[in-house]
Amino acid sequence: GAGVSQTPSNKVTEKGKYVELRCDPISGHTALYWYRQSLGQGPEFLIYFQGTGAADDSGLPNDRFFAVRPEGSVSTLKIQRTERGDSAVYLCASSLGSGRSREQFFGPGTRLTVL
Amino acid sequence: TQLLEQSPQFLSIQEGENLTVYCNSSSVFSSLQWYRQEPGEGPVLLVTVVTGGEVKKLKRLTFQFGDARKDSSLHITAAQPGDTGLYLCAGSFTGTASKLTFGTGTRLQVTL
């Protein structure tokens, strides 16, 4: 497919467990973004990569959250010691380059439920 | 921290009615985007506005950017059931151009 893909689509885990969420951006897109969307809210920015490096990680809520993009394509969002408050839909987006007018294309999200 | 307020939060109207959704911020946007999101999917971009006072039209949708670039509106004419969804505004601010700050959204339901 040509769009942004995210796996898994749903993840149910227990409090305290570790989870990894994967994002495959559109081929050729150098910028990649992670957002978190809680029920009834708009997406909230977490982190943005330009190439392999995190250009802005100011939205990560605490040090339990970490993201990597080792080869400048696929990215993994990692959450340690999950808490019930981490339950949300995690959205990934990619764009051709970065900047205020660059369109971000969103994936369908991973719905994370922490029991 | 920049905050975007959207109003109304919920809107239920009948087919053929007109509606307007508002997006306001206390900070100046460097650009503003409107998205539409359906259940189980990510947001899809409808329009980007950059210049104060700018008006863009997309079929029955009219988007307006405030002169001071602190507010925007989305007007839908003759709403149809296919317009049902979550409408989100998202802004970029000076110095954080690649980071989008989203509003809380307006959930629109259009019934026959």
Distances (CA, A) of B68 to A28, A84, B71, B89: 36, 41, 8, 16
Per-residue pLDDT of chain A (115 residues; tens, 9 = 90+): 589 999 999 999 999 999 999 999 999 999 999 999 999 899 999 999 999 999 899 999 999 999 999 999 999 999 999 999 999 999 999 998 766 557 899 999 999 999 9
Task: Express each pLDDT in A26-37 by its tens digit.
Answer: 999 999 999 999
Distances (CA, A) of B20 to A99, B7, B63, B67: 28, 9, 10, 18
- Among B34, B100, B101, B104, the residue to mutate for chain A (most A Cβ within 10 A): B100
Among candidate residues B100, B38, B43, the one with its CA nearest the CA of residue A31: B100
pLDDT of amino acid B97: 60
Per-residue pLDDT of chain B (112 residues; tens, 9 = 90+): 567 899 999 999 999 999 999 999 988 988 899 999 999 999 999 999 999 999 999 999 999 999 999 999 999 999 999 999 999 999 988 766 678 999 999 999 999 9
The verdict on B99 touching A (C-beta cutoff 8 Å) is yes
Determine, for residues A106 and B43 on separate chains, whether the beta-carbon distance falls below 8 Å. Answer: yes
Determine, for residues A40 and B104 on separate chains, whether the beta-carbon distance falls below 8 Å. Answer: yes
Nearest CB to A108 within list B31, B42, B101: B42
Determine, for residues A100 and B104 on separate chains, whether the beta-carbon distance falls below 8 Å. Answer: no
The verdict on B85 touching A (C-beta cutoff 8 Å) is no
